[in-house]
A and B are shown apart, each in its own frame.
Chain A
Amino acid sequence: MGYSLSTEALSEVFKHLSLEYDLYAPRLYPKGGAFSDTDLVRYGKISSPEEIVLHEKSRFSWKETLLPISQTLFYFTEGSVLEPEQEQKGAVIFLRSCDLHALKRLNHIYLQNGPEDPYYRDRRDKLRFVLIGCKEPFSSCFCVDMGTNKTDGYDFSLDWEGDFWQIDCPNTEWQELFRRHAVCEQAVSPSYVTETKTRVHIPDHLTADVIKSTIWKEYDSRCIGCGRCNFVCPTCTCFTMQDLFYTDNGKAGERRRVWASCMADGFSDVAGGGSCRKTCGERMRYKVLHKALDFKMKSGFQMCVGCGRCDDACPEYISFSHCLNRLPEAIKEVNSDEAE
């Protein structure tokens, strides 16, 4: 069912939802940017609709609300292990269509790829999703080409139109709440983009042979291996483990898992001091082919959702979407080498 709400009325709805849920949305962190006097838009708790940043893409995706950057799995002493109490309150996540498509990827990785991850399962089941409609794409977006520009897996949707919030609420539990606050009821369908400036075409006949291409070489000198592309990505899910011992009592401590990046140093280090991928070109190849090839071979669908955050965040202006578009060239190069 669809509803039109004033900002004040939607604030009331938020107040009601806040009793049971934390609300997470892209919001402004004034002067939170890396450069002085610049702001940062990322996910954080909000309490009113005005706090949601609509005109800018969040630098980081919503994944940190589901997969904490740093998560303590258990505490240990000499003779016992204790799991931390899970957050009891649920969370409502405000996100765009591409980001909601990322949930399918995360679910595949954490729930369907071998045994279920209990920490993920617990948190996942407590999340509700609000779709932020997209009237215009941002310049780096390529959701249409990745097939993620439309979605229906939301609890309600949000579009700002004609001085009112237009809401489509398929979640029957919340329909009464909206009805109470709406100025009118009407069919609403969330807006979505049908064209993007950035276009991407991943070739269907892509194979692991492109490993041999020379295109990866270029990134040896261009990429600085900082990992920003991974950390901002809604579908990068790698983590590493840390066992740490408290400094005041070296016999007690905790194990936590922490986000990791396949582009940064240390990711492919192995016992004995080796490292599988030393150069940034090798790491770029690994990342691009994991996104565009490996994941699809295992799951049957593309991993990348085309949000374009990696392109926005790269301090060296390396474009992932541009690299994807170079794959046909790489295939051609490798094939012609073999023909010789």
Chain B
Amino acid sequence: MDINTKALKKNAFRVTKVRGKTASRIRVPGGHLDAKYLSMIQEIAEAYGDGTVHLTNRQGFEIPGISYEDMPKVNEMLQPIIDGLDINQPVLGNGYSSSGTRNITACIGNKVCPFACYDTTAFAKRIEKAVFPNDLHFKIALTGCPNDCAKVRMHDFGIMGMTMPRLEQERCVSCGACIKACRRKSVEALTTVNYRPQRNAEKCIGCGECVLNCPVSAWSRNPSKYYRLTLFGRSGKKNPRLGEDFILWADEDSIMKIILNTYHYVEHYIDRTAPGGKEHIGYIVDRTGFEEYKRWALKDVSLPPEAKICTPVYWKGISYIR
């Protein structure tokens, strides 16, 4: 058997521990899809796999037990899924053309969750269209609110929804619901001044609890969308760590630009001798220094006036290599 393992990995198949068998990985940007694709995945698993499907850590599907020689037929059966999920595909019919930039994950977002500050799947799809296919190892995740159910601080880019609350003073009934919610569930950014809440903008994390708990709609959300962008969280063998805040109250367009700028930065600075040509972004930033990364990341970025850039950024985490 002669198989080009480098080529099959780029094609989103995997070299498995079972000789002669591969596994196919299906990306689902934003982790949400029409139910009709499930039966297509079932058909592939039953026709060419071992009849099972794995739900991956990155919200995709993995079909194990596929013989290497069946890869073209699997790619053929993947085509309607790739089309339906609107995945960029330079060559039609050949399956996925890249696997380095991983599936963009997202919590369920404001289609369902009351806490979410935006449509996480829609934003995930926008990012997917802009960054895929690409061989660079990028992990991007989105979560609707500071609860961070999607654990976005474990990713290279963590995008967390924020709500800029605004108070219509004349509607306030001084019931204290916002103040209590902020104190018990969030960061105690509200205090009472002359019976009404006063917001400490420095402390506020934009969770929206004040809005959610206001019984008279005195608090409402600024219709502009805001995000917290965290950088370079990672797991792994050397120095796992949580992503750190880079920008608070960022806008969607700026985040798009920063991600794309980071691709340029990585292309410029990546260690080509790294095993498999893969080097996590965080290690590159450790090498170049954060200021150099920031210079690249913020090129042509115009943030809203409310935005706050955190600089310099230091990461913590566990180091196994001391």
Contact = CB atoms under 8 A, between A and B. Distances in A.
Contact of A261 (B119, B175, B194): B175
B32 to A, nearest CB: 16
Given A30-B223, A247-B193, A247-B194, A265 B176 contact: yes
A64 B212 CA distance: 21
Contacts of A171: none
A244 B173 CA distance: 14
B176 A231 contact: no
B110 interface: yes
Interface string B161-176: 1010000011111111
A259 B221 contact: no
A36 B116 contact: yes
Contacts of B175: 226-227, 261, 264-266
A37 interface: yes
A34 B171 contact: no
B222 to A, nearest CB: 9
B120 to A, nearest CB: 11
Nearest to A240: B174
A40 interface: yes
Contacts, number: 83
A244 B194 contact: yes
A30 B215 CA distance: 18
B211 interface: yes
A228 interface: yes
B221 A36 contact: yes
A259 B221 CA distance: 22
Contacts of A69: 170-173, 216, 218
Chain B residues touching A, majority SS? loop
A32 interface: yes
A213 B79 CA distance: 64
A261 B193 contact: no
A287 interface: no
A261 B172 contact: no
Contacts of A32: 217, 220
Interface residue tally of chain A, by bracket?
A: 20 to 34
A31 B173 contact: no
A231 B213 contact: no
B95 interface: no
Task: Among A36, A231, A245, A265, find the residue whose CB has the most chain B CB atoms closer than 10 A.
Answer: A36
Contacts of B171: 69-70
B208 interface: yes
Contacts of B211: 34
Given A42-B217, A226-B215, A264-B175, A36 B170 contact: no
A301 to B, nearest CB: 27
Nearest to B119: A37
Interface in B149-189: 161, 163, 169-177
B217 A40 contact: yes
A60 interface: yes
Contacts of B212: 34-35
A123 B169 CA distance: 21
Given A36-B116, A37-B119, A258 B173 contact: yes
A32 B217 CA distance: 8
Interface in A281-302: none
A156 to B, nearest CB: 29
A196 to B, nearest CB: 26
Interface of A: 29-32, 34-37, 40, 42, 59-60, 68-70, 226-228, 231, 240, 242, 244-245, 247, 258-261, 264-266
11 contacts: A30-B223, A31-B220, A34-B217, A69-B170, A69-B218, A70-B171, A226-B175, A242-B195, A258-B173, A260-B173, A265-B175
Closest 5 CB pairs of A and B: A244-B194, A31-B223, A228-B215, A36-B110, A259-B173
